[in-house]
Amino acid sequence: MKKILYSVLSVILAGMSLASCSDKFMTDFNTDPSKAMSMDPNAQLTTAELLLNGDLGMVEIYRNYLYAFTQQLMGCWNTTNYGGRHTLADNETQRVWVTLYSQGIKNVVSGINNSEKGSNIESALRIWRVYLSSVITDIYGDCPYSEAGLGYIDGISNPKYDSQEDIYNDFFKELAEAGANLDRSRDIITGDLIYDGDIESWKKLANSLRMRFAMRISNVSPEKAQAEFEAALAADGGIFTSKSDDALVKHMSVAFSFGQESYSDYRGNSLSQLMFGNDPSNNPSFVCSTFYNMLTEKNDPRAYSIMRYYFDGFMSATSPDGRIDITDEVLEKGVKVYPRDPGAYAWEPWPSQFHESELIAAAASSHPGVSFELKYELEPKIATNFLRSDNPGVIITFAETRFLLAEAASKGWAVGGSVSEYYGAGVSAAIRFLADNYATRIITDGEIEAYINANPVVEGNAEQCRYAINSQAWILHFTNPNECWANQRRSGYPRLKSPAEYGFGQFLTGGSEIPVRLPYPVLESSYNKKNYDDALSRMGGTDSWNTHLWWDVD
């Protein structure tokens, strides 16, 4: 009996051994040794940082809609057709939602899960998660936040839509906690394309973003806004104190390409690439008359650093090389120019004075051997400096923090300085920002002082302060379209007129009012219907782009 039992046990053990060997073989066979078993959270931070200005597919939404809504660009087919004429197109309006959730939020949430709790990389990822989420909610409103990115981790495939108020309340908590947790004695952050892992800079970033978000809610929740703003100023590490604190994502110099591979190449600044245009000689980025008038009527010394007049007939197909600058001739001759009104295409209405014989002769004398036949040369275009692939991706700057402090001072908040002091510092920093980061003309201290004196802020006049400060912020945020649109809606400045008031009402298929949010992707109504419907019920039942966000009560 014992022998039989021993035999049976031997067979069972042998079978178990064979099964174990078989399982190990199958596991080894199906495991790719070239692939990592888990992602380095530092690498995930790198990817998430590059997305904002590096993803060519996503940033199309900036040129197609956001720049049209802020009325800084107008005239090229993309800008006028979509944003300028209020044309709803789900495949375009969904771009930020689809990209940031599937890549940005997915990476930061996974990176947080892969990080040691309390580590510096975890804190940096938490701060970056807040920033990416702010871009999403400031464009769409209520959205997945607390359950976003948890599909693989917790099996949540249909995340709920948090209210924007709840999202912002968590922003303040996360920034305060993550900023306080950062500690130079802990792990080194690698792969950071903003501060190279500098802990003190990340602390300042957390506190400065907290100021931005506090001001964002200042019209809907003024007491909370003041408390959070003042707490950010007093927080460990402080806020930005100079241009060296600017949060700028580094990009590389690469040849522009609009082939399929370019949509997964984040090295270059894709926002610059889109301003360059995929057909640069025929579809460049033109300046809107709203932006043009603000710069020229106030004698802004930045005017012809931001916009220029070019003959683009010899422009390269892969870089902004080959443009012929005829700005001096245009200005010297006093030739009539044609910035595009909101809702207008570059060719509609067609300018009446394209064939300026004196201008052609002057341009030809300055550029021998060039045959000029004026086409779009009398319409101001974005200066070449902003079309470089190694331009930085802008998150938040020292100049912006001065404008935030100026507005806080105008509200009577405890910020330790005067409106005029902070406003002047903001304008100065905003003007210098261009030369420092885009190699534009260096504007002298005297020019800056004269400009500030001619365009002052009037202390004690709350509405004038709001206008002056936020009109300057609008110019500053030209290279940061997400923040530009958000702050213009929040502050109400500059006041913008609908394209309908310029005679294009019959073309505005999405309504005559300038949209104040973008609709959710259509597929959300199928794939995440219950949570989508819950969000719509808080918006009056309709996914309208004329429904104001929670903080937008101006």
> Residues 400-427: pLDDT tens digits?
999 999 999 999 999 999 999 999 999 9
HEC-encoded secondary structure of 94-105 = CHHHHHHHHHHH
What pLDDT, on the 0 to 100 scale, is given for residue 374?
A: 66
What pLDDT, on the 0 to 100 scale, is given for residue 31?
A: 43
Query: Which residue do the tokens 């400096």 mark?
Result: 385
What pLDDT, on the 0 to 100 scale, is given for residue 336?
A: 85
In one-letter notation, the amino acid at residue 393 is G
Percentage helix, strand, coil for the chain under 3-state DSSP, each rounded to 5: 55, 5, 40
What pLDDT, on the 0 to 100 scale, is given for residue 5?
A: 36
* pLDDT single digits (tens) 490-501: 999 999 999 999
Higher pLDDT, 19 or 510: 510
Higher pLDDT, 430 or 153: 430
What pLDDT, on the 0 to 100 scale, is given for residue 483?
A: 98
Distance CA 129, CA 539 (A): 25
As a whole number, mean pLDDT of residues 219-246 equals: 98
Per-residue confidence at 453, pLDDT binned at 50, 70, 90? very high
Backbone angles phi, psi at 343, to 5 degrees: 95, -5
What are the beta bridge partners of residue 453? none
What pLDDT, on the 0 to 100 scale, is given for residue 372?
A: 66
Structure tokens at 160: 């709920």
DSSP state of 326: -
Helix (H, G, I), strand (E, B) or coil at 188: coil
pLDDT of residue 22 exceeding 90 = no
Q: What is the percent of the chain where pLDDT is above 70?
A: 90
What pLDDT, on the 0 to 100 scale, is given for residue 15?
A: 46
CA atoms lying within 13 Å on the CB side of residue 398: 18
pLDDT of residue 29 exceeding 80 = no
Per-residue confidence at 314, pLDDT binned at 50, 70, 90? confident
Distance CA 473, CA 465 (A): 12
Rounded to the nearest 10 degrees, the angle between the axes of helix 419-438 and helix 445-454 is 140
Instruction: Report which of 355, 351, 327, 353 is spatially closest to residue 340, judged by C-alpha positions.
Output: 351
As a whole number, mean pLDDT of residues 443-455 equals: 98
What pLDDT, on the 0 to 100 scale, is given for residue 283?
A: 78
Average pLDDT, the chain: 90
What are the beta bridge partners of residue 162? 143
Residue 270 CB contacts under 8 Å (≥ 6 apart), including other chains? 53, 54, 55, 56, 58, 59
* pLDDT single digits (tens) 71-121: 999 999 999 999 999 999 999 999 999 999 999 999 999 999 999 999 999
pLDDT of residue 8 exceeding 50 = no
As a whole number, mean pLDDT of residues 462-473 equals: 97
Q: How many CB atoms lie within 10 A of CB 369?
A: 5
| Length of the chain as a residue count | 554
As a whole number, mean pLDDT of residues 237-247 equals: 98
pLDDT of residue 238 exceeding 60 = yes
Q: What is the percent of the chain where pLDDT is above 90?
A: 77
Helix (H, G, I), strand (E, B) or coil at 253: coil
What pLDDT, on the 0 to 100 scale, is given for residue 101?
A: 97
* pLDDT single digits (tens) 261-279: 888 889 999 999 999 987 7
Helix (H, G, I), strand (E, B) or coil at 199: helix
pLDDT of residue 547 exceeding 80 = yes
Per-residue confidence at 13, pLDDT binned at 50, 70, 90? very low
Range scoring the smallest mean pLDDT among 132-136, 221-225, 329-333: 329-333
What pLDDT, on the 0 to 100 scale, is given for residue 151?
A: 87
What pLDDT, on the 0 to 100 scale, is given for residue 407?
A: 98
pLDDT of residue 9 exceeding 80 = no
Say if CB 514 and CB 288 are below 8 A apart. no
Q: How many CB atoms lie within 10 A of CB 38?
A: 8
pLDDT of residue 1 exceeding 50 = no
DSSP state of 345: B
Per-residue confidence at 351, pLDDT binned at 50, 70, 90? low
What pLDDT, on the 0 to 100 scale, is given for residue 260?
A: 82
As a whole number, mean pLDDT of residues 513-534 equals: 97
Instruction: Report which of 57, 52, 47, 86 is spatially closest to residue 69, judged by C-alpha positions.
Output: 86
